[in-house]
Structure formats: C-alpha cells, structure tokens
Amino acid sequence: MNRAKLDSIRNAGPAILPSVLNCDFGDLMAEVDRLRQAGAEILHLDVMDGHFVPNLTFGMPIVEGLRRHTDMPLDVHLMISDPLAYAKPMVEAGADLLTFHIEAVSDPVDVANKIRDLGVGVGVAINPATPLSSLDVCLDCVDMVLVMSVQAGFGGQSFNPVALDRIRELRSRYPDLLLEIDGGINTETIGPAREAGCDLFVVGSAIISSDDYTAAVSELSDAMMSANGGAR
Ligand code: DX5
Ligand code: ZN
C-alpha cells in the first residue's frame, strides 16, 4: 500500500517533522500549508486516546482529511492503549508510518508484524522512564525507533537528555535503523540529537509558537545541518 513512502521518509533524513499538536485546529489546512511552505517535507501526527496518555487529540477523520489535502508523508504517532484496534483504519485513512508505544503492548513483535502486513512502515516508541532493553525483542521487526525526549502526552515540555544516550546506543548497535526523536526539540537540542545519530526530528512548539514558521524551520535546519551527523 504505502511502503514506498517509507523510502521517501528515510531518504529525507536528516529532516524536521513538524507536529501539528499545538497548532490552530480551526485553521488546520492553512497551518499545514504554512508548514509546507516553511520547508516541511513530512508531517508528524500525535494521536492520543485519553487513556494511554492523559490527553485526547484526534483520530482517523483528521488523518484522512490531511491525506486528501497534502502529499506529504504522514508519520502517525499512536499514543493509545490498543494500537492494533486502530492500525487498519489509520492505514486506510492515509498513514504512511505508524508508530506504537512499547509500554502499551504485551507482544510488540506481533503488533509490529501486523502493522507491517498492512503495507506501511512501522515504528516503536519508548518513553524516557522505560528501560531501553524492553525494545530488544522487537528491534528486528521495526523500521524505526521513536526515542521520546519527554514523557508522551503534551507539547511544550523540557528536553530530557537521556534520549541522547539512547540514540547513541541504538545508532551504534543498528547503523541502518531509522531513528526519530520527539519532545523539547529546539535550536539548542536539535544539534546534539543529530550528533548522537538521529535522522528525524519532531518539532512542535519551537515552530508552532513562532510567528514565522519559515524562519523557525530555517533556524532549526541550520542548527541541525551544522551539527556533525556522520558519526555512525
Ligand atoms: C508529545 C508529542 C510531540 C509533541 C512535541 O507527546 O509526541 O510530538 O508535539 O511537542 P514539543 O516539540 O513542543 O515538545
Ligand atoms: Zn509525537
């Protein structure tokens, strides 16, 4: 179905992925257009169920509406208790890369394989407090690891540097694995994250709280590109 988009996501790295979590949902399509014009190539969509995390966002209708509106690949971050219950509808709605949380599932290999069988890329996300070793069982079954640099649930939190050690360790063990970081990424933290070996950088408030998305993306991009990302 959409696995070709996984290659375009992989080839885009290093890349900044705006999260629409804190944007103006009353003007969502214009927000997406502004992000596109600012240089975004991939959108990060935060799906929350009010159960796995104490916050509630949106589901398939918004993903489907965005799919009709833009050709940007859609990177869907599922912060939900039962990812398999919504994986197929999310793929039908237009997700290209579907990421579940390791903390939410008892059999991550089964979840990863079932998502992959839907024809999309599959990612596994890990919160800062969860031992990195809990990912070991499924690292051969996923296309991407999303290393959270905040506890999943809300935008605007401070960066937790434990994520840098995790990116470094995953990068040294898995030179070709796609690595994404999410939470508290700004012009100060994006460089160290790239130096640690990260490919994809999710950015919410550092773009959305700016009056000028183009300037914000360009400053982030400068900080990202001036860091040495060759250490792998
Ligand atoms: C938080 C979400 C993030 C959020 C990041 O749980 O997964 O994608 O939008 O926002 P900032 O960049 O503000 O930390
Ligand atoms: Zn996210």
Ligand nearest to the CA of 23: 1
pTM of the model: 0.97
Structure tokens at 193: 């994250």
Quick one: which atom of ligand 1 is closest to the CA of 202? 8
- For 51-74, b where at least 16 C-beta lie within 10 A, e where not — what string? ebbeeebbbbebbbbbbeebebbb
In degrees and rounded to multiples of 5, residue 49 shows phi and psi of -110, 5
Ligand nearest to the CA of 149: 1
Rg of the chain (C-alpha set): 16
Q: Is 182 a catalytic residue?
A: yes
Q: Cβ distance 160 to 194 under 8 Å?
A: no
In this prediction, residue 128 carries a pLDDT of 98
> For every one of its 232 residues, what pLDDT tens digit does the chain have, with 9 covering 90 and above?
568 889 999 999 999 999 999 999 999 999 999 999 999 999 999 999 999 999 999 999 999 999 999 999 999 999 999 999 999 999 999 999 999 999 999 999 999 999 999 999 999 999 999 999 999 999 999 999 999 999 999 999 999 999 999 999 999 999 999 999 999 999 999 999 999 999 999 999 999 999 999 999 999 999 999 998 864 4
* Cβ of 156 less than 6 Å from ligand 1: yes
* Cβ of 205 less than 6 Å from ligand 1: yes
Q: Which helix (H) or strand (E) holds 44?
A: strand 43-48
Nearest to 6 by CA among 151, 115, 155: 115
| Helix locations, the chain, DSSP H | 3-12, 28-37, 60-69, 83-93, 108-117, 162-173, 190-196, 205-208, 213-225
* Cβ of 108 less than 6 Å from ligand 1: no
In this prediction, residue 231 carries a pLDDT of 47
